[in-house]
Chain A
């Protein structure tokens, strides 16, 4: 049951149907011209058809077709840290929050304290100098 074809087929079918349904709510075209809902419905219809084709033709006993998540815990942790970092965007000093975020991420990925700190400091400083100082993109 862990077939990627099966899961993605179902997901795309749902999106396709959603597009068709939402497209009918948009104002219709005037004078025989397609309106705002024409393309959403057309894309939705093609997507639903392709999704059905994917589900029907899926290779049932293909071992390589199953999802291999690998280090799922590390991926979730890294993505979670980035989520918190983006949530805190604009709070406090850019240099500070960025360095802390990078140090925590690198530590989490198994780096020792001092290389993690050194690398984070270098990256943060470089990003700040390149964007804030040289290009006037205010990051704080």
Chain B
């Protein structure tokens, strides 16, 4: 009798309808950051429509390259998926791992975060134009804190230099928070970080946002002009999506995409995006593929140029 039960259970776990056991969601960053929060919230919101637990596992390191490669090596059965941030389109260009969006099965995109340029609240520059002309007239005078060489916000600074002719002294930090703190403390003059990361300090009057690098105005910094309005169509946003190992069955991808879409429509998700300054943006498999491949192409084209410009 017991043997029968065990046998039946064994069969169910291998041949039953998908999903018949828990799904592992690999997060490429440490617990507590935006990637981790997005993944954990999405996982808990999507669980009920998936019908199986979605369990997050953090595998940080090498800008996410370790996690992307790990997921790509797992069986493409839909029981191991990963969080896909913008870095998945970057790590190959940085030489951290030979993997990109075209090597995996993209599932869907759920959010986007635009970069914002901020200066200290008592700094002399009131507008983006004043800031750019100061940085162009006195190359290297303005100290620009960044969240780490090779990070997405650092690329935005390099793109800004390329697009406007401004030249900065770069001050690298190990993340957005210390970079912003150095601007608040008056040690650096300016920084570029995600809208969600700067909005609280802007509202508290500690930082002043001069521009958001995006085509459309941000919902949380609605009074700040966009770079496109200002005539400099530069900017590379950060984003959050999900992916599985290459060659995942189409029905399982669609099933997960539907579950994430349901989660996307909940009030909890809208609230999280609002609080974290993210733009809730859903792209299904096809839309995400188109978007991510364009991003990959963009970074493969830009990074060698930017790095050459920056290098010694």
The chain A residues found within 8 Å of chain B, CB to CB, are: 27-28, 30, 136-138
Contact = CB atoms under 8 A, between A and B. Distances in A.
B134 interface: no
A81 B312 CA distance: 50
Nearest to B58: A137
A28 B312 CA distance: 9
Chain B CB within 10 Å, residue with most, of A28, A136, A137? A136
Nearest to B310: A30
B55 A136 contact: yes
B57 interface: yes
A28 B56 CA distance: 42
Given A137-B57, A138-B24, A138-B55, 7 more contacts: A27-B312, A28-B312, A30-B312, A136-B55, A136-B56, A136-B57, A138-B57
Contacts of A30: 312
Question: Chain B interface: which size bin?
Answer: under 10
A138 B56 CA distance: 10
Interface in B32-85: 55-57
B184 to A, nearest CB: 25
A136 B57 CA distance: 8
Interface in B269-312: 312
Contacts of A27: 312
A110 to B, nearest CB: 38
8 contacts: A27-B312, A30-B312, A136-B55, A136-B56, A136-B57, A138-B24, A138-B55, A138-B57
Interface in B108-144: none
A55 to B, nearest CB: 38
Contacts of B57: 136-138
A89 to B, nearest CB: 15
Nearest to A35: B312
B21 to A, nearest CB: 11
A109 B57 CA distance: 36
Contacts of A138: 24, 55, 57
B79 to A, nearest CB: 11
Interface in B163-199: none
Nearest to A30: B312
**Residue of B24, B57, B312 most packed against chain A (CB within 10 A):** B312
